Amino acid sequence: MTTPSERIAEEIRARIRSGELAPGAAVPSTRRIVAEHGVAMATASRVLDTLRRDGLVEVRRGVGTVVAAGAGSARPGAAARAASAPTVDDVVRLAMATADAEGLGALSMRRIATDLGIPTMSLYRYVRGREELLARMLDTVYATSPLPDPLPKGWRARAEVCARTMWAAFQRHPWAAHVMSMTRPQVLPHGIAHTEALLGAFSELPGRRLDLDTRMHLTVSVFQLVRGLGVGIEPAAQARKDDGLTDEEWMDRTLPDLQAAVDPRRHPHLVEATSNDVDLTLDTLFEFGLARLLDGYAAFLGNPARS
């Protein structure tokens, strides 16, 4: 009996063979397969795993899963990868490329092992499990997003550069904010510099010495602001990929329904908001939120000036 994943894989395989999906064309993402076929995410992942093993599709960073060049033959480089054992860096880089292109939902130990051309259990020689793999990926994000040297002087300037460095990293790797934990922080050697930079900034206030508890709260609150907004980057990007609409196009389509749902007598402020153009994006929320957070810090520290 044909399983759902085999049936869906055969449908996509037929589209590739017929030329409907040409080399380089995007194939349905795991989320689209879930939506169109009503299957579980694990089933959708198995569909793409099957097509990758067949050499029909490949992951292209920043694009997603696409039809492979020369679809139908062995994927270029697969034999070479199988012939030589990968390194831990190979595992982490491939996992990051997969998450960058398709999101964390597409990432599994089986998936990475398949793409490397090794048995799934062999992958545990490199990392103990998915949690360690995710931590290594996040640490690599920090490693490739260094803070400026030297750091700017003044707590506010340093807080801003730390926050903006992290925000830029989350935009390059939209999954990273989901991996980062604030309550059970991972041991990230390259992330230590970011925490140290902020703790140091709040430890060097002119004429004042804050206790450690206060300094930690000031530091972690900056990280939490960035992370909290950062978790919206990946679903927003996936939505644009799934429906092909920009955020502005989606809003144009949705606005009439939203305006119809707003009662002028009960929601006069929302009527105003939905009747005017408002520049509201994740980037504007980040800039506004960071500025207001640091304004609050300035008042708390008794130093309203931009120091």
Mean of the per-residue pLDDT values of the chain: 86
Phi and psi at residue 44, to the nearest 5°: -60, -40
Taking only the tens place, the pLDDT of each residue in 145-187 is 999 999 998 999 999 999 999 999 999 999 999 999 988 888 8
Q: Tell me the average pLDDT across 81-108.
A: 83
pLDDT over 70 at 79, yes or no: no
Residue spans per domain, the chain:
4-127, 149-233+282-300
pLDDT over 60 at 80, yes or no: no
Taking only the tens place, the pLDDT of each residue in 24-41 is 888 888 888 888 888 888
Residue 164 Cα distances to 16, 155, 211, 283, angstroms: 42, 14, 26, 11
CA angle 94, 100, 101 (to 5 degrees): 90
Q: pLDDT band for 76, please (50, 70, 90 cuts).
A: very low
Residue 84 Cα distances to 78, 79, 116, angstroms: 10, 9, 10
Taking alpha carbons only, the member of 19, 164, 30 closest to residue 101 is 30
Say what the pLDDT of residue 3 is: 82
**Burial of residue 284 (number of CB atoms within 10 Å: 0-12, 13-18, 19+):** exposed
Q: Tell me the average pLDDT across 262-271.
A: 90
Q: Tell me the average pLDDT across 53-79.
A: 69
Give the separation between CA 57 and CA 185, rounded to whole angstroms: 36
Taking alpha carbons only, the member of 190, 182, 239, 191 closest to residue 216 is 182
Say what the pLDDT of residue 81 is: 43
Classify 61 in phi/psi space as left (phi over 0), alpha (psi -120 to 50) or beta.
Answer: beta
- Could you tell me the two tokens for 107? 């990432």
Which comes out higher in pLDDT, residue 250 or 77? 250
pLDDT over 60 at 83, yes or no: no
Residue with tokens 């939505």: 239
**Burial of residue 69 (number of CB atoms within 10 Å: 0-12, 13-18, 19+):** exposed
Q: Which residues pair with 60 in a beta bridge?
A: 64
Q: Tell me the average pLDDT across 58-63.
A: 74
Lowest-pLDDT range of 5-14, 88-97, 123-132, 261-270: 5-14
Helix axes 130-143, 88-102, angle to 10 degrees: 90
Say what the pLDDT of residue 229 is: 96
Taking alpha carbons only, the member of 188, 200, 209 closest to residue 141 is 188
Say what the pLDDT of residue 1 is: 62
Verify cis geometry, omega within 30 degrees of 0, for the bond prior to 264: no
CATH class, 4-127 region: mainly alpha
Q: Which helix (DSSP H) or strand (DSSP E) does residue 66 occupy?
A: strand 64-67
pLDDT over 50 at 77, yes or no: no
Give the separation between CA 3 and CA 43, rounded to whole angstroms: 9
DSSP 301: T
Residue with tokens 């879930």: 34
